Amino acid sequence: MKDNFNYPYFNKNKLSAFEKSKCDVQKKLNNFSKYVPRQSIARFVTLFEIFKLQKNIKGSIVECGVHHGGSLMAFAKISSILEPYNFNRKIIGFDTFKGFLGLDKKDKMVVKKYPLIKKGLFSEDYSIYEEINSCVEEYDENRFLNHINKIELIKGDANKTIPLYLKKISICSSLYYLWILIFISQQAQR
Ligand SMILES: C[S@@+](CC[C@H](N)C(=O)[O-])C[C@H]1O[C@@H](n2cnc3c(N)ncnc32)[C@H](O)[C@@H]1O
């Protein structure tokens, strides 16, 4: 299912400078600050500041709800920039990669107010999981200690996958990891 969510700060009604530009894609990406709205940069800068807050704490970063992977990949790349030899820091993302699996009866009130919230919200008509994995491959080609995994994507219902994952790490490394749960509010991007 195609995700029809539109970021309010992108003008959908006219062709963007990015779309109009004849500039080569690589050059566009390298000069991304020309094209993205300030809100996108604010989002990235916020992630950078969050990362710095935990930089001196041993442990992994866990993102519950990865969606397109922008935050997950930002954390991974910032880790490779600020602590390129920290092979203990993992970036772990939990998601169905198929959007919402369903809604609870308790969510009825929210659904009334926001009809966009329904089963399948945040899914796409392509595999987000495969797309992020190909980004992870590119990321791995361009970092130190790339024989040691940095990013882990855990696919499935987090209600099930998180308890299973916690069981696994409690056997092999519970004393080692400090878990930092980062919930990034969409509000922070406004
Ligand atoms: C708001 S998006 C996450 C945004 C992301 N953190 C970011 O910074 O761009 C919410 C995500 O939660 C995922 N999700 C919802 N229910 C889930 C569940 N039960 N288990 C795993 N993932 C779930 C959805 O697939 C969706 O990708």
Q: So what's the pLDDT on residue 152?
A: 96
- Cα of 37 to ligand 1 centre, how many Å? 23
- Cα of 150 to ligand 1 centre, how many Å? 20
Q: Whose CA is nearest to atom 21 of ligand 1?
A: 95
Instruction: Taking residues 71-94, report their average pLDDT.
Output: 96
The model's pTM:
0.89
Give the DSSP per-residue string, 73-132. Answer: HHHHHHHHHH-TT-TT--EEEEE-SS------GGGHHHHHH-TT-STTTT--SS-HHHHH
pLDDT, tens digit, 9 for 90 and up, residues 96-144: 999 999 988 888 888 888 888 889 999 999 999 999 999 999 999 999 9
State whether the beta carbon of 95 lies less than 6 angstroms from ligand 1: yes
Choices 3.40.50.2300, 3.30.70.20, 3.30.200.20, 3.40.50.150: CATH for 26-189: 3.40.50.150
pLDDT, tens digit, 9 for 90 and up, residues 141-175: 999 999 999 999 999 999 999 999 988 875 433 33
Mean of the per-residue pLDDT values for the chain?
87
Tell me the percentage of the chain whose pLDDT exceeds 90.
70
Q: So what's the pLDDT on residue 170?
A: 55
Domain spans in the chain, listed from the N-terminal domain onward: 26-189
